[in-house]
Amino acid sequence: MTSVPNIPKDPNDQAALPQGAIAPNPKDIAPGLYLVATPIGNLRDITLRALDALAGADLVLAEDTRMSRRLFEAYGLRPKCEAYHEHNADRRRQSVLTALQEGRTIALISDAGTPLISDPGYKLVREAAALDIAVFAIPGPSALLAALTVSGLPTDKFLFAGFLPPKSSARKRALAKQKATQASLIYYETANRVVAALADMAETFGPRPAMVGRELTKRFESHYRGPLDQLGAQIPKEELRGEMVIVIGPPEESDDLWDETQIDKALHQALSEQSLKSAVDEVTKVSGQTRRTIYQRALDLQKRP
C-alpha cells in the first residue's frame, strides 16, 4: 500500500509539505486575496501554486480577461473571471473587499508577470491589509528580475524605477534625480521610445554599462549589452518592437561628484522652472555636492547678466 502524503492546509506552510509530495490541490487554498504571478511570455513559466490558486479561487480578477483566457485554456482552467484594471479599479474595489470580508478566495492577476509591479492592485492590497484580510503572494515571473539577472550588471543593490515620462524634458529630470543612486537601475520602456530614452540616459549618466532585454522568455528573446552611449545604435531597426527592459550599472566612485559644468547645466534648467530653494534642493540631491556649494553657485548664476 502506498501512503498518501499529508497535504498542509495552510498554503504558507511549506515546511509541512513532505518531500516529493504533490502540490496542494485547489481545495487547500485558504480564503483571502492571492496575488498570482503569471508568465511574461513563455506560458510554461507558471508555478504549481499559481495553478492551484487560479483553480481554487471563487473569482479571478484579471487586467484583461481575453488575454488571461489564453493562460486558462493552456492549463484547462475555467475560473470565474472578471476585469480589474486601472479604469474600473476605483469602482470595483469596494465590492471586492466586501466579498473578501465574507470569506471568499479571490486571485488577482495582470496581463503578464507579477501583479502590482507597474500594474493595478496596490490600493486593493493596501485596503485589504487595513481590513485584516489575508493577502498571499504567489511569486513567479517579473520582467525586472529576469532582465536584471541576465544583464551581467551588479545585482546586490538595484532600483526599479518603472516607466519614465514619455517626453524628453520630463524624462531627463526624472533621470537626473536617479543619477547619484548607488545601485543598478531598472526601467520598463516601450519599443518606440527605447532609442530616445537611451540617448537621454547616456546624456545624464554618461557611458555607464547597460543592457536592453527584449522579449524575455519568448521565442525572439534578445539581449543587447554595451555602454549607454552606444547601446541605442546596436539594436537593429527590425528589433525595435516587442517588450523591453533597460538595466543600467551603478555609478563609478569617480562619477559621484558632479563637476562645475554639470552643476551649472542642471541649475540653469532647474532655475528656469522652480524657485531658488527647490532648484538648489534638487541639484544638491543629484550632484553629490553640499547644499552650501550648490546654493552659492546658484546665487552666482543668478547674478550673471
Binding site for ligand SAM (CB under 6 A): 40-41, 110, 112-114, 117-119, 142-144, 188-190, 213, 215-218, 243-245
Q: Nearer Cβ to ligand SAM, position 110 or 204?
A: 110
Q: Helices 168-178 and 276-287, interaxial angle, to 10°? A: 60
| 186, 190, 193, 198: CA torsion to nearest 10 | 20
Q: How far is the CB of 236 from ligand SAM (least distance, A)?
A: 17
Residue nearest to ligand SAM (CB): 113
* Minimum separation from the CB atom of position 230 to ligand SAM (A): 21
Query: Which one, 213 or 249, has the nearer CB to ligand SAM?
Result: 213
Give the nearer residue to ligand SAM in terms of CB position, either 244 or 266.
244
Q: Residue 50 or 294: which CB sits closer to ligand SAM? A: 50
Q: Give the nearest distance from C-beta 149 to ligand SAM in angstroms.
A: 13
- Min. distance of Cβ 122 from ligand SAM in angstroms? 12
Least distance (Å) from ligand SAM to the CB of residue 190?
6
**Residue among 118 and 168 whose Cβ is closer to ligand SAM:** 118
